[in-house]
Amino acid sequence: MTVTVWISRDAGALALGAEATAQKLLAAAQAAGTAIRLRRNGSRGLYWLEPLLEVECAAGRIAYGPVTAKDVPGLIDKGLLRGEAHPLRLGPIEAHPWFASQQRLTFARVGRIDPLDLDDYIAQGGFRGLRRALEIGSAATVNEVLESGLRGRGGAAFPTGIKWQTVLKQPAGQRYITCNADEGDSGTFSDRMLMEGDPFSVIEGMIIAGVAVGATRGYIYLRVEYPHAYQVMNAAISAARKAAYLGTDVCGSKHAFDIELRLGAGAYICGEETSMLESLEGRRGEIRVRPPLPAEKGLFGAPTVVNNVVTLATVPVVLAQGAAAYRDFGQAKSRGTLPLQLAGNVLRGGLIERAFGLTVRELLYDYGGGSASGRPIRAVQIGGPLGAYLPESQFDTPLEYEALSAIGAMLGHGGVVAFDDTVDMLEMAKYAMEFCAIESCGKCTPCRIGSVRGAEALGKIARGINPEGNCSLVEELCDTMLQASLCGLGGMAPYPVLSAMKHFKEDFAKRTAAS
Amino acid sequence: MNVERLVAMVNDIAAFFASEPDADAAAEQVAYHLQKFWEPRMRSEIQRCLEQGGVGLSPLARRGVERL
Amino acid sequence: MYSIDHKDLGTPAPASTGTVTLDIDGSTVTVPAGTSVMRAVALAGGHIPKLCATDSLKAFGSCRVCLVEIEGRKGFPASCTTEVAAGMKVRTQSPRIQKLRRGVVELYVSDHPLDCDTCPANGHCELQDAAAELGVEGSRYANGGASQRGVKQDASNPYFVFNPDLCIVCSRCVRACDETQGTLALTIEGRGFSSRVSASQHQPFLESECVSCGACVEACPTAALTEKLPLMLGAPTKAVSTTCGYCGVGCSLKAEVKEETVVRMVPNRAGTANKGHACVKGRFAFGYATHADRVRRPMIRKRITDPWREVSWEEAISYTASEFKRIQQKYGPNSVGGITSSRCTNEETFLVQKLVRAALGTNNVDTCARVCHSATGYGLKHTLGESAGTQAFTSVMKADVVMLIGANPTDGHPVFASQLKRRLRQGATLIVIDPRVIDLVRTPHIEAAAHLQLRPGTNVAVINALAHVVVTEGLANDAYAEERCEGDTYRKWKAFVSDARNSPEAMEAISGVPAALVRKAARMYAAGPNSAIYYGLGVTEHSQGTTMVMGIANIAMATGNLGREGVGVSPLRGQNNVQGACDMGSFPHEFSGYRHVSDAATRSLFEGAWNATLASEPGLRIPNMFEAALDGSFRALYIQGEDFVHSDPNTNHVVAALSAMECVVVQDLFLIETARYAHVFLPGSSFLEKDGTFTNAERRISRVRKVMEPLAGLADWEVTMQLAQALGYPMHYSHPSEIMDEIARLTPTFHGVTYEKLERLGSIQWPCNDAAPDGTPTMHVGAFVRGKGKFYLTEYIATSERSTSRFPLLLTTGRVLYQYNVGTQTRRTANLAWQEEDRLDIHPDDAEDRGIADGDWVGVTSRTGDMVMRAVVSRRMTPGVVYTTFHFPESGVNLVTTENSDWATNCPEYKVTAVEVVRVGQPEAWQARIRAERGAQRSPALPTACSHRDEC
């Protein structure tokens, strides 16, 4: 009898040795004369358990992890292929408390299916959203998305339905759907996991968007640093085209829609929507002034939907299950679920999809299990490199848009990075400016010059040069950057700096005293 | 005046008007053009040429010059 | 920096109707809808500091100095990128705003030299102004911080320097290269703090794709891009508005002068023809006007083999007059003639033809338009009723399809090309009909939808094939044609073009253009809805030049593409005043306004006004004059501003004719080639030295204004006047405006033109009369000038000039961006840095067959003569066709061209000469000699702008 074994082809799992484990398993099974069917899935998101291996047996998919190549022979000897006991045996992964407590909607299929198996996708509810959208038509689809309360998961949290509505209202003519897959925030990986683990959901979301706003062409703008996602997405697009989900007659509906995958060239700024459009047009990735909004004049001057990967992959859920069902998750103005990405100095990092409202502390400790180093967690940065640093005193803040905004922080793309008490927050502040300087497109002056001067001034503080003067200069500079920058890069780089200066005064005061 | 050159010129003019199906009208148009755009000594030169046999003149050119 | 007398409003005027009322700092202000807050503030007399904004470029929003507060809006919007809205309350000044602006300017200053006193931009630097206004004296960040300074300046361009240390990365230059010029040669290289302006792939400007139009220099807010001449001569003190003396685009320019020296030339943003743009010639190549080669005193000699003798004006004039009188007495009144110049003003050409007709009593007057656009005049007059283009340049912005025939605007008409490119980048379709792959066939962000790369000499075959498709596929606009045109000629034409012999398939063998491509192009043109034809000398300079012009008019009439904006038939005129020279009665058969000399009423009008008896027979055309000279019946010629020996075909023939004359008078700026055969040389005056008007290709009459005294003491019109006087025919004009008054009186299409009106309106497109007091941008609206449009049958007739086994290649000619026509002017400027000789472009296959490598000397032989030049092996060419320019006399291109000419107008067939090309070791001895002479002459003028100075 052939045993089916699942090992992830997710880039995170591969980085942890999943490929070696897989090869070893095949070799060992062959040596042992056992026929196995090795299937490759996305990651379940429990990265501290990768490489994770699941064996299909009577009791279900029994997980083992982390399984390195050298663990394989021993495991096989111990009856791995029959799901037998072993210190690495985890049982059915979906019963694992870390997993079971999640509310996986967008990530429902990730890790469960072979990402490129269209039948798997359909069997697990794929294209139900699209069929419904085709049934109810354009305006009702837009309305459904509007009603669901879905907000852009890329970071800006703009209501997706309103964006679509704006595009729909534009005068007739060419329109575009663009998928922003330039996931550049440090500590974030949900877009990547989705594209590698359930690419059809992104494609389905884009088709629905196309049907909804009357666009016939979509572009995915993918960062060049995601080669695995590139392969999977491309293969998925081909498969969808072959199966007539893409092309001149989507699902026999007479709607035309096709997708082209474009690679970025490594610029963080191209994750900003207008820069992304510039880059897609073959220009230098540089901010465009708004207005006009991309929904009015976007790609090649045509009305354009720009949505993040997670947003688009969530759309099929909204359509399949209905706006109300989705809306039931979450709280206040943050509806639905958010795939949080927990990283940094934590014991158990990974992907946690939960309804909005989980507190920072719950995330860090219930899921994260505290710091990996065993030392107290001193600070977390939420929302990427431009997000504010939260001190321990703010750990009870619920993870939702307005609550974070109220304390001067932001949820962004849902990345959470933890630091223990050895962190030097002055260095972190300086890093924020340096990051901004490296990634600045150079168009506006506060960002182009300000970030460099900010890093320099913080460096002077670190070296004990006129700390008071430089501290107030940095504050003044942050004000200039906040108020005068053209886009969120220069306009948000002050958040980590100012929050560090505010909540971790001592790290700046130290130097003041040293002078 | 270089008669050969004048003959070539009037032939060129006649060639343009040759697409006029009415032969008389075509000849008239050639003559009219010469009248309007040729300086008198050129016209008399080409007439003299015609008198001496009009060597090289195309049939329509000849008919045009005849009408001067 | 833009012109010294310009107040920058920050952003361009919106293209909107309607107004918006808002509140700015407590005052109620009403501005056009779509205006930026920045512009609204400026219009209201206020001021917001800015660095990246300028009113010639779209708002960019990068400098962040122009922030304002707007009630009800978050943060501090940039005033340049924020549109006004009804009821908006704007605050332009507050301590908070000032603090932010200071914060930003301090960042700029943290990496910018502070030695303003020694900076060339001192006093007109926008960063300096902003810092002063905001009280920023230095930067707290400056000490030891990162810096982009210390980069060597790039002085490679002869006219301007780029000093990266002074650059504030506002992208104004990059945007100007994109939006204003459309070349996209400049870019921002690097990212973030490392962002730097770069020409092409980090090349020196001269080696880059930069075409030196200067728009970037004008846009620069600091001294990062600075013209060299003001650096040497000092800042200008006043600006005089005038019109460019180069091509037929007729750009309005502001000559900025210091005392009597032109220091800068900047395009006038109020100029309707050029909308604030210029090219390398108009903006920079004016140094010839004060070049050491300028002849400043009249000269005479008995025989052309004698040395010149400098004489007084009086002596030169009276000598000339006595010679003309003597010759007329001896050989008859028609033994003399005159040539008006397309380089001179309307008033001057008018006077020359008046002198010939009234003072000399002959109609032997012609003009250099004979050799360029005479076919246009004839063709359009006969079909549409007026010898001129039908549109204003701006019309192209409403065209959906542009068919470009035998024209190379990026080189020949660069400022129009920029506008055309703008339209093409907006999505208009381009069809190119040209034997060569001209730039527009494929250039950044532009690609022709169809390139009909026809064999030289087969234009008519192609236009007939296009018409065949239009008619036989039912794409013609019958309703329009039947209503607006003579129905019988239309139907006759339809039957003619429908004949199978005119089908694309039948014509393919003749033209070499694939039938399918012709069909595609015809369908695109017919589909429009607005289809416009622009054409150049590639249409007119053929044995069937007039036929082709008629063919163009036919297809435009048949598809209803005349009589509104966005369509039309537009000849791109080569010279600044070729339209004007034609309008002014320079042709031997007609008075001003294209009225035949045989028309008794017109003649009596002029006879009355001029108090003279006028001849009723047409006079000699230029080539006829040469023939008449050779047979001894034509003995004296007054030539104002034309270099026959260089420009006219079959040089040997021209030389023989001139040598046979007894009195050749040349009036010119320089001792041109023709002066070698002259008996009298009268120093001419450049366009900077006189008042007058030019008429450009869109019939636009624009003022030329004097900015310096004539170097030889007299303007050209004054010389003609004195000559008339000496001939016993006094003329009394104290100013060219009085000549224009006379033109207006005597010319119906000019009835409403006065200098006062030109002053008021800036420029006027004729017809300007009681029916159209402000002029006529678009012609033939509602009805054709002719009444009903007339179709002509345009049978394709092959030129007698065909390739043979002896002369297997076809030579065609054109011009390059940096040189101008016979090069008399541009060869005396630093434009030589780009091109200092004519070269022969040849396809790699033809080159290989002949063992020719790039840069080799080649001999070019035709049945008329031969020349030697260097070869450029180029895929712009199609096999079997070679190409050259005619800017340099030592090339002797016209030794090779033939006397073949257009059947109707004798416009020479410059575009088709059968030749053979062989590799040779070196240039001919005579060429080497001229080269050496020229080298000696020009060495002081190179390599930089010192050529502009008198004393060089």
- Give the pLDDT confidence of C196-208 residue by residue, as tens digits: 999 999 999 999 9
Q: Which band of pLDDT confidence, cut at 50, 70 and 90, is reported for residue C949? A: very low
- Nearest beta carbon to residue C141 from set A446, A457, A479: A457
C308-369+578-732 CATH, one of 2.40.170.20, 3.40.50.740, 3.40.50.2300, 1.20.1050.10: 3.40.50.740
Inter-chain residue contact B1 with C628, CB threshold 8 Å: yes
Inter-chain residue contact C141 with A473, CB threshold 8 Å: yes
Inter-chain residue contact B13 with C547, CB threshold 8 Å: no
Q: Which band of pLDDT confidence, cut at 50, 70 and 90, is reported for residue C574? A: confident
C160-290 CATH, one of 3.30.2450.30, 3.30.70.20, 3.40.140.10, 3.30.230.70: 3.30.70.20
The DSSP code sequence of C284-333 is: ITTGGGG-TT---S-EE-SSTTSPPEE--HHHHHHHHHHHHHHHHHHH-G
Q: Which band of pLDDT confidence, cut at 50, 70 and 90, is reported for residue C935? A: low
Q: Give CA separation, A328 vs A323, A331, C490, C693, in Å.
A: 9, 8, 74, 78
What residues are paired with C840 via a beta bridge? C871
| Mean local confidence (pLDDT), C708-737 | 96
The domain defined by C19-134 folds into: Ubiquitin-like (UB roll) (3.10.20)
C646 by Cβ neighbours in 10 Å (0-12 / 13-18 / 19+) ranks as buried
Q: Which residue of A has its CA nearest to C184?
A: A283
C-alpha span between C763 and C249 (Å, rounded): 13
Residue numbers of the domain that contains B16: 3-66
Inter-chain residue contact A442 with C60, CB threshold 8 Å: no
Tell me if A182 sits within 8 A of A201, measured CB to CB. no
- Other beta carbons less than 10 A from residue A21's beta carbon: 28
C-alpha span between C650 and C908 (Å, rounded): 10
Tens digits of residue pLDDT in C259-311: 889 999 999 988 999 999 999 999 999 999 999 999 999 999 999 999 999 99
Strands C401-405 and C429-433: what pairing?
A: parallel
Q: Which residues of A touch C146 (CB under 8 A)?
A: 452, 456
Inter-chain residue contact C627 with B5, CB threshold 8 Å: yes
> In this model, does residue C901 exceed pLDDT 70?
yes
Question: Strand runs (DSSP E) across C475-589, as ranges?
Answer: 531-535, 568-571
Q: Which residues of A touch C108 (CB under 8 A)?
A: 445, 449
A170 interface with C at CB cutoff 8 Å: no
Q: Which band of pLDDT confidence, cut at 50, 70 and 90, is reported for residue C356? A: very high
The DSSP code sequence of C566-614 is: T-EEEE--SSTTHHHHHHTT-STTEETTTEETT-HHHHHHHHHHHTS--
- Starting at the edge strand found earlier in the chain, the sheet holding A258-263 runs A258-263, A217-222, A176-181, A304-308
Q: Which residues of C touch A284 (CB under 8 A)?
A: 187-188
Inter-chain residue contact B36 with C598, CB threshold 8 Å: yes
> In this model, does residue C942 exceed pLDDT 50?
no
Q: Among A375-379, A460-464, C887-891, whose mean pLDDT is lowest?
A: C887-891
pLDDT at res. A500: 97
> In this model, does residue C945 exceed pLDDT 90?
no
Q: Which tokens in the block code for residue C698?
A: 């869109």
Interior CA angle at A317 toward A313 and A321, to 5°? Answer: 170
Q: Which tokens in the block code for residue C458?
A: 């087969």
Q: Which tokens in the block code for residue C878?
A: 């199609």
Q: Whose CA is closest to A461, among A488, A489, A427?
A: A427
C-alpha span between C252 and C828 (Å, rounded): 22
- Nearest beta carbon to residue B40 from set C547, C617, C903: C617
> In this model, does residue C947 exceed pLDDT 70?
no
Q: Which residue of C has its CA nearest to B38?
A: C618
User: Taking a contact as any Cβ pair under 8 Å apart, which residues of chain A between 286 and 325 contact chain C?
Assistant: 289, 291
Q: Whose CA is closest to A69, among A29, A31, A17, A3?
A: A17
Strands C252-258 and C261-267: what pairing?
A: antiparallel
Tens digits of residue pLDDT in C596-611: 999 999 999 999 999 9
A41 interface with C at CB cutoff 8 Å: no
User: How is domain C809-937 classified at the architecture level of CATH?
Assistant: Beta Barrel (2.40)
Mean of per-residue pLDDT scores for chain C: 94
Look at residue C453 and give its three-state secondary structure.
coil
Inter-chain residue contact A445 with C140, CB threshold 8 Å: no
Tell me if A453 sits within 8 A of A476, measured CB to CB. no
| Phi, psi at C900, each rounded to 5° | -55, 145
B18 interface with C at CB cutoff 8 Å: yes
Tens digits of residue pLDDT in A370-416: 999 999 999 999 999 999 999 999 999 999 999 999 999 999 999 99
Q: Which tokens in the block code for residue C916?
A: 């053979």
Domains in chain B: how many in total?
A: 1
C-alpha span between C786 and C782 (Å, rounded): 12
Q: Whose CA is closest to C615, among B47, B46, B65, B39?
A: B39
Q: Which band of pLDDT confidence, cut at 50, 70 and 90, is reported for residue C950? A: very low
Q: How far apart are the first and last CA of chain B?
A: 18
| Mean local confidence (pLDDT), A424-449 | 96
> In this model, does residue C952 exceed pLDDT 70?
no
Q: Which tokens in the block code for residue C884?
A: 């050259």
Tens digits of residue pLDDT in A97-152: 999 999 999 999 999 999 999 999 999 999 999 999 999 999 999 999 999 999 99
pLDDT at res. C764: 97
What is the enclosing helix (H) or strand (E) of A351? strand A350-355
> In this model, does residue C729 exceed pLDDT 50?
yes
What is the enclosing helix (H) or strand (E) of C423? helix C414-425
Q: Which tokens in the block code for residue C545?
A: 């030049």
Note if the bond before C14 is cis, omega within 30 degrees. Answer: no
Q: Return the C-alpha torsion angle A10, A16, A20, A24, nearest 10.
A: -100
pLDDT at res. C951: 30
Cβ neighbours of residue A5 under 8 Å, at least 6 residues apart? A25, A36, A37, A38, A39, A53, A54, A55, A56, A81
Chains A and C share 3 or more Cβ pairs within 8 Å: yes
Inter-chain residue contact B39 with C618, CB threshold 8 Å: yes
C-alpha span between C698 and C952 (Å, rounded): 38
Distance from CA of A136 to the nearest CA of C (A): 36
Tell me if C869 sits within 8 A of C901, measured CB to CB. no
Q: Which domains does chain A have, with CATH numbers?
A: 3-96 (3.40.30.10), 118-327 (3.40.50.11540), 330-420 (3.10.20.600), 425-514 (1.20.1440.230)
> In this model, does residue C3 exceed pLDDT 90?
no
Q: Which residues of C touch B2 (CB under 8 A)?
A: 627, 630-631
Unique residue bearing structure tokens 């047409």: C618
Inter-chain residue contact A444 with C62, CB threshold 8 Å: yes
C331 interface with B at CB cutoff 8 Å: no
> In this model, does residue C558 exceed pLDDT 60?
yes
Q: Which band of pLDDT confidence, cut at 50, 70 and 90, is reported for residue C923? A: confident
> In this model, does residue C212 exceed pLDDT 60?
yes
C-alpha span between C765 and C775 (Å, rounded): 5
| Mean local confidence (pLDDT), A484-506 | 95
Distance from CA of A439 to the nearest CA of C (A): 7
Distance from CA of C168 to the nearest CA of A (A): 9
Q: Which residues of A touch C178 (CB under 8 A)?
A: none
Q: Which residue of C has its CA nearest to B45?
A: C628
Question: Strand runs (DSSP E) across C93-180, as ranges?
Answer: 160-162
Inter-chain residue contact C334 with B41, CB threshold 8 Å: yes
ipTM: 0.97
C-alpha span between A230 and A228 (Å, rounded): 5
For chain C, give the number of residues: 952
Q: Do domains C160-290 and C809-937 have the same CATH topology?
A: no
C-alpha span between A342 and A345 (Å, rounded): 9
Q: Among A422-426, C14-18, C38-42, whose mean pLDDT is lowest?
A: C14-18
Q: Whose CA is closest to C167, among C127, C227, C132?
A: C127
User: Taking a contact as any Cβ pair under 8 Å apart, which residues of chain C between 60 and 79 contact chain A?
Assistant: 60-65, 67, 75-76, 78
Tens digits of residue pLDDT in A194-250: 999 999 999 999 999 999 999 999 999 999 999 999 999 999 999 999 999 999 999
C438 by Cβ neighbours in 10 Å (0-12 / 13-18 / 19+) ranks as buried
pLDDT at res. A510: 64
- Other beta carbons less than 10 A from residue C863's beta carbon: 13
Burial letters A79-116, b for 16+ CB under 10 A, else e: ebbebeebebbbeebeebebbeebbbbbbbbbbbbbbb
Chains B and A share 3 or more Cβ pairs within 8 Å: no
Q: Which residue of A has its CA nearest to C61?
A: A289
- Nearest beta carbon to residue C64 from set A441, A442, A444: A444
Q: Whose CA is closest to C593, among C606, C604, C584?
A: C584
Q: Which chains touch B (3 or more CB pairs under 8 A)?
A: C
Tens digits of residue pLDDT in B7-66: 999 999 999 999 888 999 999 999 999 999 999 999 999 999 999 999 999 999 999 999
> In this model, does residue C937 exceed pLDDT 50?
no
| Mean local confidence (pLDDT), C805-817 | 94
C143 interface with A at CB cutoff 8 Å: no
User: Taking a contact as any Cβ pair under 8 Å apart, which residues of chain C between 590 and 649 contact chain B?
Assistant: 596, 598, 617-621, 624, 627-628, 630-631, 633
Tens digits of residue pLDDT in A322-337: 999 999 999 999 999 9
A465 interface with C at CB cutoff 8 Å: no
> In this model, does residue C821 exceed pLDDT 50?
yes
pLDDT at res. C17: 85
Residue ranges per structural domain of chain C: 19-134, 160-290, 308-369+578-732, 374-571, 809-937
Interface test with A, best of C112, C193, C222, C447 (most A CBs within 10 A): C193
Q: Which residues of C touch B19 (CB under 8 A)?
A: 496, 793-795
Q: Which band of pLDDT confidence, cut at 50, 70 and 90, is reported for residue C944? A: very low
What is the distance of C-alpha B58 from the center of its chain?
8
What is the distance of C-alpha C86 from the center of its chain?
43
Cβ neighbours of residue C813 under 8 Å, at least 6 residues apart? C883, C884, C885, C886, C893, C897, C910, C911
Q: Whose CA is closest to A446, among C194, C126, C54, C65?
A: C65
> In this model, does residue C507 exceed pLDDT 80?
yes
The domain defined by C374-571 folds into: Dimethylsulfoxide Reductase; domain 2 (3.40.228)
pLDDT at res. C2: 76
Inter-chain residue contact C145 with A456, CB threshold 8 Å: yes
Cβ neighbours of residue B32 under 8 Å, at least 6 residues apart? none
B22 by Cβ neighbours in 10 Å (0-12 / 13-18 / 19+) ranks as exposed
Interface test with C, best of B5, B16, B48 (most C CBs within 10 A): B16
- Nearest beta carbon to residue B12 from set C334, C633, C903: C903
pLDDT > 70: percent of chain C? 98
Inter-chain residue contact A441 with C191, CB threshold 8 Å: yes
Amino acid in the structure at residue C761: L
Q: Which band of pLDDT confidence, cut at 50, 70 and 90, is reported for residue C933? A: low
